[in-house]
Amino acid sequence: MITNKQNTALSYSRSGCNLKAAIMRFSSALCLLGALFVAGCSTTGANPATNDPWQSTNRKFFKIDRAIDKAIIKPVAKGYRDVVPERGRKSLRHFVDNLHSPVVFANDVLQIKPKRAGTTLARFAINSTFGLAGFFDPAKKIGLKGHVEDFGQTLAFYGIPEGPFVYLPILGPLPPRDMVGFVVDVLTNPLMWIDEPVAGYINKGQVVVGGLGDRERAIEVLDSLEESSLDFYASLRNLYRQNRESEIHDGVPQFDDLPDFEDDFEDDFEDDFDNEDF
């Protein structure tokens, strides 16, 4: 069962800085997606259980990310926690979530989920007005709880497979399906289409604040996972997939689809781990 803290540990708030950059990322992602699938089909010796044919490269990127996180991101997140009171951090999180509501609503509609779409629309209207631009969440107090939807989940809803596991520097886990979903979500963010300096500032601000808030809330979860794992990379990969399955099925457990942690650990050690240079 995915907890809220585990969900936070694997969530990401990413959006582009301007339309030109977003279009460039979109084109690059589609090209990379094609290359990934072609390479994935031609890769030999990859373990189908883990579906991680580029594990050696992924681990190297993961190692780089860990170094960056320990040197910069985690200390900044701790400082953010120390300086900004919990109530302030919570309000900033509400603000970022509210800005993301149009993207959630669009994917609710694409997945033909009228009840969830209605909830998202009502939350956006209430929190944008009575919640003072989203800094507060009065909608939750009347039973309208928020949820997560993105285009990666929409692709999964229509049966598009995840594809081989990919770990990218800074962005983290981003298999082909979620890579395309990420770029589409960027392009469907209304702030991308507002040609005003203030929209750009808000867009950049939500990326920084959202990412910093996610890392701050995940401090204990990631520390605990790292301390208790024989293989932190494999544990995070499994947790990412488990979290995505939970999101795709709207939080309803799909026990047949959950990854086998024990088999994944054994497969990694047998196929790749012995050859890794740590």
Residue keyed to tokens 């149009």: 102
The pLDDT score that the predictor gives to residue 32 is 54
Q: What is the pLDDT of residue 195?
A: 83
Place of tokens 């024989």: 230
Gyration radius of the chain's alpha carbons:
19
Give the pLDDT score at 10: 58
Helix or strand or coil: residue 159? coil
Tokens standing for residue 218: 């995940």
- pLDDT score for 192: 86
* pLDDT in the model for residue 170: 87
Measure the CA–CA gap between 101 and 103, rounded to whole angstroms: 5
> Is pTM, for the whole model, over 0.75?
yes
**Whole-Å CA distances, 50 to 24, 182, 231, 238, 250:** 31, 22, 14, 9, 24
C-beta neighbour count of 220 within 10 angstroms: 10
For residue 214, which of 69, 106, 22 has the smallest C-alpha distance? 69
Task: Copy the structure tokens of residue 161.
Answer: 């497979």
Closest to 191 (Cα-Cα) out of 15, 1, 6: 15
Measured CA to CA, the distance from residue 61 to residue 46 in angstroms comes to 18
Q: How many CB atoms lie within 10 A of CB 1?
A: 8
Q: What is the mean pLDDT of each run of 10 residues along the chain (278 residues)?
A: 56 40 49 49 56 96 96 96 97 96 97 97 98 96 96 97 94 95 94 87 91 95 94 95 94 57 48 47
Tokens of 123: 């939350």
- In angstroms, the CA 213 to CA 207 distance is 10
**Predicted local distance difference test score (pLDDT) of residue 194:** 87
